[in-house]
Structure formats: C-alpha cells, structure tokens
Structure 1
Amino acid sequence: MKRLGIIFSIGMLLCGCKQEAKKPTEHISETVNNPIDSVIEVVEVPEKKSIKHIKEALTAKGFNVMDYVDETTQDTILMQQYFIAFLKKGPIHGQNEEENVDLQKAHLAHLTQMYDLGYADISGPLGDDGDIRGITIYNVPNLKMADSLAHADPMVKAGRLVVEVHPWWAAKGFSLR
C-alpha cells in the first residue's frame, strides 16, 4: 500500500510538471503572435570579405592600397596608407591653469570624436618630455584630409601644439600586440 502511495505521488508530481511545462509554452506562443509584446534578438554574422573585395572598396573610397604575398604563410596581405600626425610642442604656453584644463578637455573630446567618426584609429601621448607630445593615426583617404582634421584640434588652434603629418603604411586588419 505504501508503495502504491509513492507511485501515485510520483505520478501526480510528473503530471503536475507536464502541466507547468505547457503554461510557459502557451505564454510564449501568445507573445510571439503579438509582435508588440515580443522581442526577438537577431544576431548577424558578419560576412567574411575577400582581400580583393576589401581592396576594391577602399580604392573606390579613394584610399591608397597595395598587397603582397607573405612568403612564409602564402597569405595575401593588404596594406593601406594611413596618416600619422605628430603632435609637437607649440610656441604658445601662456594660458593659465583653468585655460589649460579647458583646452585639455577640448583636445580629448576632439580625439574621441575623431575615433568615434572613424577618422582616427589610435591616439595617445608619448611617455617622455620631448618635443613630440603625442601621435594620432588617421584612417582617411588623403594627406589633405588628415592635416585638416589634425589642425582642427583645439590644442593646435590655441598654439600649444603644432602638427606634422606623414603618410604611413600598415597591414589592413592587423592589431597591436
């Protein structure tokens, strides 16, 4: 009799679980039928583009590119011309402390905006007290544009920094290590 009670209890428990399992499914189907109440997350897998496709797209935008075959791996390496801006000590240093703080905030905001807009890939100060204070690597099609963006920096406009821009080549898609 005890055994029958245990079996009955287990059976009731299993039936109860089946009923509970149906309820969320019913709720989900109601939600899916009502698009206002549902949220469907779509994850897009980026399409892997060929070197040829990337090269054509960059060339169409006015970028200078070239490629070569790595002798060791036999991979085709795509090189792109970037522009490196050296931010050097400028002639004007007469601002008071409050002006310096404001200029530094505006300078950092400018560099952040360049990065956010996709015009600059990396920026940063140098770690010594030499004439070159920092660098920015611009990801733009030509020297004129890089020079213009670098000269729009509030520190450059104020004369605290001067800019020297040079073409610089790097492998497309490689990261710092």
Structure 2
Amino acid sequence: MKNSLLLFIITIGFLSCKNNSKDETELIENKTTYEKSNNEAIKEQSAAELKAKLTSKGYQIFDYVDEKTQDTVLMQQYFIAFLKKGPIRSQNEEEAEVLQKEHLAHLGKMYDLGYADISGPFGDDGDIRGITIYNVPTLEMADSLANSDPMVKAGRLAIEIHPWWAAKGFPLR
C-alpha cells in the first residue's frame, strides 16, 4: 500500500512538472511569436517611413548601415529614469504599501499608454531602486511623467533622467 501511494505521488509530481514545462514552453513560444511579429511590423516599414513618422512626432533619431547585414539601422533617443531613494522614507508600513500599489499602477498606466517600454526594480538594496525607459520625444515629457509617480510625489523616490539611444525593432535577449 505504501509503495502504491508513493508511486501515485511520484507520478502526480512528474505529470505536474511536465505540464508546467509545457506551459512554460507555450509562454516562451507565444512571447517569441509576439516579438517576431512586432519586430517584423517595424521592419516592414521602410527606414524612410519610420524616420518620417518619428521625426514628425518630435523624436530624435539617426540611422546607419550595418556593415554585416547592409540593413539600415534606425536609432531612437529614449529616456532612462533612475528611481533613487528619496529624502522622505518615514512612511509607516501601511502607507508604504499603499504607495507601492499606486506606484505599480502608475507604471502599468505608462506602459499601457505607450509612454514607457520597460520598468523594473534592481535586485540589491542600493540607492538606485529601479529604472523606467520612457519612449517619448522630449526630456521634459519624460521628466513630467516620471515625477507624476505617486512614490516620487510622496518623496519616497527621486528621479534622475538621462537620454539613452537604442535601435528600433531590436528585442531584449
């Protein structure tokens, strides 16, 4: 009886792991498909069309020809915001928790509206707590969006923004 029960538990565990592995594989495949279709949509536009579109919206850009592929690579200026420890960190645990929820909602909204392309915390406990990369045409706009974060308004975080260049249509790996 004990052996049957042990075999049953091992079988369930194995099947559970196998299903998780399948789910993870599907997630990876879906992400890869999305990235490919997104990148192909950008690449389907000619470099000239994309340049004209971005320039008309006020973005700073330049391009160059990749020696290896002979493709035109379009570079766009983004703004990277470093979220640093702010001067007011005296909130109690409950207040800090509420601010954290509002902070995450703000970042989600920035992403949904297309203003931010990526955000995330750092894995250490240093003075720089995280980053957000803003996909907006001007430093002033990035600064305004970053400073509208409830954590920044409360003084728990402070913002330091720098212009940052990246190639359009190239995914993170």
Following superposition of structure 1 onto structure 2, how do residues 40-79 of structure 1 map, counting pairs within 5 Å? Answer: 48-79=44-75
My pick for the range that moved more, 57-66 or 46-55, is 46-55
CA separation of 1:47 and 1:176: change in aligned 2, threshold 3 A: closer
Root mean square deviation of aligned Cα: 1.4
The answer to which structure has the higher helix fraction is: 2
Contact 2:121 2:131 in 1 (8 A): yes
User: How far did residue 49 of structure 1 move?
Assistant: 1.0
For 2:127 and 2:94, how far apart are their aligned partners in 1? 23
For 1:145 and 1:60, how far apart are their aligned partners in 2? 16
Gapped runs of 5+ residues in structure 2? 1-40
Following superposition of structure 1 onto structure 2, how do residues 18-33 of structure 1 map, counting pairs within 5 Å? Answer: none
2:63 alignment partner AA: D
1:147 aligns with 2:147: no
Once the two structures are aligned, what percentage of the paired residues are identical?
74
Contact 2:82 2:130 in 1 (8 A): yes
**What are the superposed Cα offsets for residues 31-78 of structure 1, whole Å, 9 maximum, x if unpaired?**
xxxxxxxxxxxxxx9992111100100000000010000111111000
1:51 alignment partner AA: A
For 1:99 and 1:173, how far apart are their aligned partners in 2? 40
CA separation of 1:128 and 1:121: change in aligned 2, threshold 3 A: same
Paired residues in the alignment total 133
For 1:91 and 1:97, how far apart are their aligned partners in 2? 17
Dislocated runs of 4+, deviation >4 Å: none
CA separation of 1:47 and 1:122: change in aligned 2, threshold 3 A: closer
Contact 2:42 2:169 in 1 (8 A): no
Cross-structure match for 2:89:
93
1:106 alignment partner AA: E
CA separation of 1:131 and 1:53: change in aligned 2, threshold 3 A: same
Contact 2:106 2:150 in 1 (8 A): yes
**What are the superposed Cα offsets for residues 138-159 of structure 1, whole Å, 9 maximum, x if unpaired?**
0000000000000000000000
Q: Matched residue of 2:126: which SS?
A: coil
Cross-structure match for 2:130:
134
Query: Taking CA–CA contacts closer than 8 Å with sequence separation of 6 or more, which of the two structures ends up with the larger relative contact order?
Result: 2
Match of 2:165 among 160, 169, 174: 169
The normalised TM-score by structure 1 is: 0.73
Q: Matched residue of 1:71: which SS?
A: coil
The normalised TM-score by structure 2 is: 0.75
Q: Matched residue of 1:170: which SS?
A: strand
CA separation of 1:85 and 1:173: change in aligned 2, threshold 3 A: same
1:61 alignment partner AA: K
